[in-house]
Each structure stands twice: as C-alpha cells, then as structure tokens.
Amino acid sequence: MKLTISAIDSLSPGLKRFTLSGSNLPWAGAGAHLILEIPDGERVRKNAYSLIGAPVGAYQIIVRRVEHSRGGSRWLHDHARPGDELVGYPPQNFFSPPRSAKRHLLLSAGIGITPFLAYLQIPGLDYELHHCCKSDEADAFRALLPPGANATLHTSRAALNLHALLAKQKLDTHLSICGPESFMGIAASAAKSQGWPATKVHLESFGAATGGKPFTVRLKRSGITLNVGTDDTLLDTLEAAGLNPPCLCRGGACGECRMAVLDGTPEHHDHYLSDADKASGKSIMVCVSRAITPELILDF
C-alpha cells in the first residue's frame, strides 16, 4: 500500500504520533499492527507498529525515538515530514481482545500502551488498564486516554502491585500484556505464580528483535550461506539476500516464519513457541530469534 504521512504530532520529546493516509485502506480491528518500509541508508527496514485507531481513511501509530534502535524510529523522528510517502502492508492482527473474556485486565509499559488505545475505543468493553511509564511522559500518555477511561498510570513499576492486582480478578477475566521484554516477563511470571492458566494470558512484544553476536546461517534447501550481522535480524538478512520467507508480524507472535533447525542452537526471543519447542532446539522464529552457536543450519 502507498501511505502518505498526513500529520505528525509531537507528544513528548521522545514520542511522536503519525497519521498515515491512503485510498481504500483495509479495515483494522483493535490490536492490529501495520508493517512499514523505513529507509535506513542504502537498505530498507520493515518495522511493525501497533495501530491506535484513527479517522476514517487513515491509520495512526505512535513511535518512540530509540537512539540505538535498528533505524526505523530514528528516521521517523528525525527525517519524516508531512507529505512523505511510505510503503506499507495490509494490517494483521494477532492481539485482538479475546472473545471468550468477560473482562479484560490490560497491563502495559512505555510504548506498549499503543494496542490498548484501540481496545479502549470498543463500545461496552469491560476492562481495567494499568500502564507504567516515566514520570516525565505521564501527561503525554494520560492525554491519549479517552474521557472516563478505567485506567491507572504508574510512574514506576514498583508502584504496581502485580500480585495483589492479579489475585483479586474474577475467573472470567483475561490478562493481556504489552511492553518491553523485562516488563512482560515479570507480569507473566506473576500471573503464573497466581495460577492463571496460559489460555487466559496474552502477550505482544515490543523490541523483541534485538541485536546480538554475529553468526552464520546455512540454508540447506536453498544452498545459500549468509552472515547475520550484529544489528541485523535473521529475517532481515534473508530478505536482503532476495529471499521471501513467510512472515506476518515481525514480532515473534504469529508463527508464520517458523523454520526447522537442522543443526546449531537457537537463541529464542519469541512468544509463539512453547517451552518444550524451545528446549528441543528444533525450531526457530526467524523474525526475532538468533543463534547461540556460530552457525545455524535451517531447512529452507
């Protein structure tokens, strides 16, 4: 899709909201994300951003400027201007509000609030939102909430008593968590210790595709060997070589990019594979995961 940046709003020194307009844009429900192609020198990055809801005929995203990111946030903050055109891909949704839930407990931190801003626009949704953020960004996030929102902002994670909050929830409540890996790990562990079944805990990750030690990937069926750099993802490397592996989320959630590992040890960063799958080392989600060993051999 061709998308035009029709508006850029500065929410705080590190947060900007982008309105993207286009013709005949596909509908996107709460929890959906959009993949954009972002210039990065001579390369083009594909980054995923949650949609926060927007006027008809437009999408809206909020982007945090991350100094040591893979390039997308810096370009959008430093170079993007109204009128610029970007290439986008139709929205996908792997984090919609679970239909079986009577009530929703929403936990977020930092930029992880973005998918929940769309949840809060659903008429009649029974929810309770707790958001952790820096004190100097609290006003910016508070301004994004609709009037009368059942939301509490915490300016430190220590101020959020997860165990007490989880313990008082009714049995028909589902828990949805979005934010940095450290926050989601703590929240998910707290839910597990409280006896929450895995079927009632839902995660969406931000920033899971981190860099790491370089490694080599050998593609058995393709007969190709590639070097994955420190700041590149395995998926980026495959795409830069002209390959087209399946992928819908770029965040380790959808399962589309799962590949069989023939040799080597993966370093898992996804939220799709089970603990048993990860322990076996026989599969990898190439969008976010890397290698512990110097080389991985994949069935691709």
Q: Per residue in 162-217, pLDDT tens?
A: 999 999 999 999 999 999 888 999 999 999 999 999 999 999 876 556 678 999 99
Helix (H, G, I), strand (E, B) or coil at 213: coil
Distance, in Å, from the CA atom of 85 to the CA atom of 97, rounded to the nearest integer, reads: 31
Q: What is the pLDDT of residue 37?
A: 93
Structural domains in the chain, sorted by start: 2-91 (2.40.30.10), 103-205 (3.40.50.80), 215-298 (3.10.20.30)
Q: What is the mean pLDDT of residues 221-247?
A: 93
What percentage of the chain reaches a pLDDT higher than 90? 80
User: Per residue in 39-95, pLDDT tens?
Assistant: 877 778 889 999 997 777 899 999 999 876 666 788 999 999 999 999 999 999 999
Distance, in Å, from the CA atom of 196 to the CA atom of 198, rounded to the nearest integer, reads: 6
Radius of gyration of the chain (CA): 19
Alpha-helical segments (H) within the chain: 72-78, 114-119, 138-144, 162-167, 181-193, 234-240, 275-280
User: Per residue in 263-278, pLDDT tens?
Assistant: 999 999 988 899 999 9
Is the alpha carbon torsion for 60, 17, 41, 251 positive or negative? negative
Q: What is the pLDDT of residue 208?
A: 56
Q: What is the pLDDT of residue 8?
A: 98
Q: Which pTM was predicted?
A: 0.88
